[in-house]
Structure 1
Amino acid sequence: MHTVIIGIGGVGGYFGGKIANSGQKVSMIARGKHLEAILRSGLQVKSIDGDFETGPFLITDDIYKIEKADLILICTKSWQVQEASEFIKPILKEDTIVIPLQNGADNAEKVQSVIDKKHVLGGLCKIYSKIEVPGVISHFGHTPEVIFGELDKSRSDRLQKVKAVFDKAGFKNKISEDIQIDIWSKFMFITTVSGLGALTRATIGEIYAHPELNNMLRATATEIYQIAIAKGIEMPLAIVDGIMTFIGKQPFDATASTQRDIMEGRPSELDNFNGFIVKEGKKLDLETPTNAFIYSCLQPMEAKARNEVK
Structure 2
Amino acid sequence: MHTVVFGVGGVGGYFGGKISNSGQKVTLIARGEHLIAIKNKGLEVNSINGDFVTHPYLVTDQINEAEKADLILICTKSWQVAEAAKLVLPIIKENTVVIPLQNGADNVEKLLSAIPKQHVLGGLCKIYSKIEAPGVISHFGHDPEVVFGEIDGTLTKRLSTIQQVFNKAGFHNTISKNIYVDIWSKFMFIATVSGLGALTRLTIGEMYQDSGTQNLLEKTAQEIYEIGVAKGIGLPSDLVKRIMAFIEKQPFDSTASTQRDILEGRPSELNNFNGFIVEEGKKLGISTPVNAFIYSCLQPMEAKARLTKN
Q: Tell me the TM-score normalised to structure 1 length.
A: 0.99
> How many Å apart are 1:115 and its aligned residue?
1.1
SS in 2 for 1:114: coil
Correspondence 1:264 to 2:264:
yes
Match of 2:217 in 1: 217
> How many Å apart are 1:7 and its aligned residue?
0.4
CA distance in 1, matches of 2:283, 2:217: 23
Q: Which 4+ stretches in 1 moved above 4 angstroms? A: none
Correspondence 1:199 to 2:199:
yes
* Superposition CA RMSD, Å: 0.9
- Paired amino acid for 1:235: L
1:47-94, Cα deviation, whole Å (9 max, x unpaired): 000001101000001111100000000000000000110110110101
Please list, as runs of the form range in 1=range in 2, the aligned pairs for 1:276-295 lying within 5 A after superposition: 276-295=276-295
The count of aligned residue pairs is: 309
Correspondence 1:72 to 2:77:
no
Structure 1 unmatched runs, 5+: none
Match of 1:81 in 2: 81
- Paired amino acid for 2:303: A
> How many Å apart are 1:308 and its aligned residue?
7.9
CA distance in 1, matches of 2:95, 2:110: 19
- Paired amino acid for 1:62: Q
CA distance in 2, matches of 1:265, 1:30: 22
> How many Å apart are 1:179 and its aligned residue?
0.3
SS in 2 for 1:93: strand
Match of 2:251 in 1: 251
CA distance in 2, matches of 1:132, 1:308: 22
SS in 2 for 1:94: strand
Match of 2:109 in 1: 109
> How many Å apart are 1:156 and its aligned residue?
1.1
CA distance in 1, matches of 2:241, 2:92: 41
SS in 1 for 2:194: helix
CA distance in 1, matches of 2:92, 2:109: 18
CA distance in 2, matches of 1:40, 1:113: 36
Match of 1:296 in 2: 296
1:173-205, Cα deviation, whole Å (9 max, x unpaired): 000010000000000000000000000111000
Q: Tell me the TM-score normalised to structure 2 length.
A: 0.99
Q: How many percent identity over aligned positions?
A: 70
SS in 1 for 2:123: strand
CA distance in 2, matches of 1:26, 1:59: 9
